[in-house]
Amino acid sequence: MQNFDTIQEGKAIVKVAVGKISKELPVFYNPIMSLNRTISVLLLNTLSNTKMQLADPLAASGVRAIRFLKELPKNKISSIHINDYSKDAIKSIKENLRLNKISSSKFKLYSQDANIFLLESFGFDYIDIDPFGSPNPFLDSAIKRLARDGILAITATDTAPLSGTFPSTCMRKYWSLPQRNETMHENGLRILIRKVQLVASQYDKALTPIYSYSTEHYMRIFMHCEKGKKKVDKILKQHGNYNNAGPLWLGQLWDTTIAQKIASSAKKLSYINDQEKKFLNTIAQESKIDTVGFYNLPKICKKNKLTIIKQDELIKRIKSAGYKVALTHFTNNSIRSDIPLPELIKIIKN
């Protein structure tokens, strides 16, 4: 006998199955992903776009779409299309929409394979691909139906291949060699971005990351879509290798203004905790520094036989030498900076 619980996430109330978080739940709901959904709401709020057509092709309990309906300003959404091929999920979505008193005129509900749902549509301004594991099976149809100036949001929970645990799987699925080193999560995110860009390039669509991160068991990217051969060629020129991994995306991971807006709006939210606010603030700070990769201080100190100095002190010294510096959200004891390595070593030595 399956037990259910009614919980609040953001401004949504949802009835969810209780049990070990796995694909085996009758309807999937993972509370750890509440930050993932909150960031989607915050990101959509930073955009000036109004009257958007939104798609949630892998909706499960419907919590993400319900949060969009309850937390985004009314003029942001023209229509929201919610889909899941599981009959149990559709039952749960209907129940959750009722619980949140959302009128049936506000959404359209489908129960199809996500690719068919996408391909039979007229296209969307925002598509959120949030699957079990790899987003690969849905990339082609999502990109085909992504409108000009649209946003594609992608979650990947198959982080082991992307971050170098299974290199041959990564080569097969993401057409790139990962590495198991200190920048493995950033490399993995960049490998995923390149893969999505390559699929998009077939359709003359240029996808630029506007907000990306890696945390917990997943990677997440939001990409802005433009059309045109020249724009695509510009994207493809920014593929290359880094730290023995690649090919991967060597361009910006964030639009700085969007990253700042997300962090500052998050500060005002009562339902996200201090740790999450700090996480978003770290991303906002590192988004100001246009570098690929970061410096892992213990590794640099060990290799160069240096004594580690306090992070605050080091940051002060780098700034007074005229360089940009910030912590990175990817891992601890690491800094993102435009300082060249020999200069950094000199500063630590002094």
User: Where does this chain bind ligand SAM (CB under 6 A)?
Assistant: 28-29, 33, 37, 58-61, 63-64, 84-86, 89, 113-114, 130-132
Cα dihedral 138→47→278→249 (10° resolution): 50
Tokens representing residue 285 in the block: 């700070």
Q: At its nearest, how many Å lie between ligand SAM and the CB of residue 231?
A: 29
CA end-to-end span of the chain: 66
Beta bridge pairs of residue 226: 206
Peptide bond into 131 cis (omega under 30): no
Q: How many helices (H) and strands (E) does the chain have?
A: 14, 14
149 by DSSP, 3-state: which? strand
Which is closer to ligand SAM, CB of 130 or CB of 255?
130
Q: At its nearest, how many Å lie between ligand SAM and the CB of residue 15?
A: 13
Q: At its nearest, how many Å lie between ligand SAM and the CB of residue 230?
A: 34
Q: At its nearest, how many Å lie between ligand SAM and the CB of residue 88?
A: 8
**Angle of the 63-71 helix axis to the 34-46 helix axis, nearest 10:** 40
Q: At its nearest, how many Å lie between ligand SAM and the CB of residue 16?
A: 9
Q: At its nearest, how many Å lie between ligand SAM and the CB of residue 120?
A: 13
20 by DSSP, 3-state: which? coil
Which is closer to ligand SAM, CB of 130 or CB of 158?
130
Q: Are 208 and 228 in contact (CB under 8 A)?
A: no
Which is closer to ligand SAM, CB of 52 or CB of 297?
52
Phi, psi of 174 (to 5 degrees): -125, 5
Which is closer to ligand SAM, CB of 64 or CB of 81?
64
Q: At its nearest, how many Å lie between ligand SAM and the CB of residue 84?
A: 5
Which is closer to ligand SAM, CB of 113 or CB of 140?
113
C-alpha distances out from residue 26 to 2, 18, 89, 100, 291, Å: 8, 10, 8, 21, 43
Q: At its nearest, how many Å lie between ligand SAM and the CB of residue 113?
A: 4
Q: At its nearest, how many Å lie between ligand SAM and the CB of residue 85?
A: 4
Helix, strand and coil content of the chain, in percent to the nearest 5, comes to 40, 25, 35
Which is closer to ligand SAM, CB of 114 or CB of 184?
114
Residue 109: exposed, middle, or buried by beta-carbon count in 10 A (0-12, 13-18, 19+)? middle
Q: Which amino acid is at 290?
A: D
Which is closer to ligand SAM, CB of 45 or CB of 86?
86
Which is closer to ligand SAM, CB of 55 or CB of 58?
58
**Which residues, 6+ apart, have CB-to-CB distance to 289 below 8 Å?**
324, 325, 326, 336, 337, 338
Please name the residue that has the structure tokens 């039952």: 91
Which is closer to ligand SAM, CB of 61 or CB of 176?
61
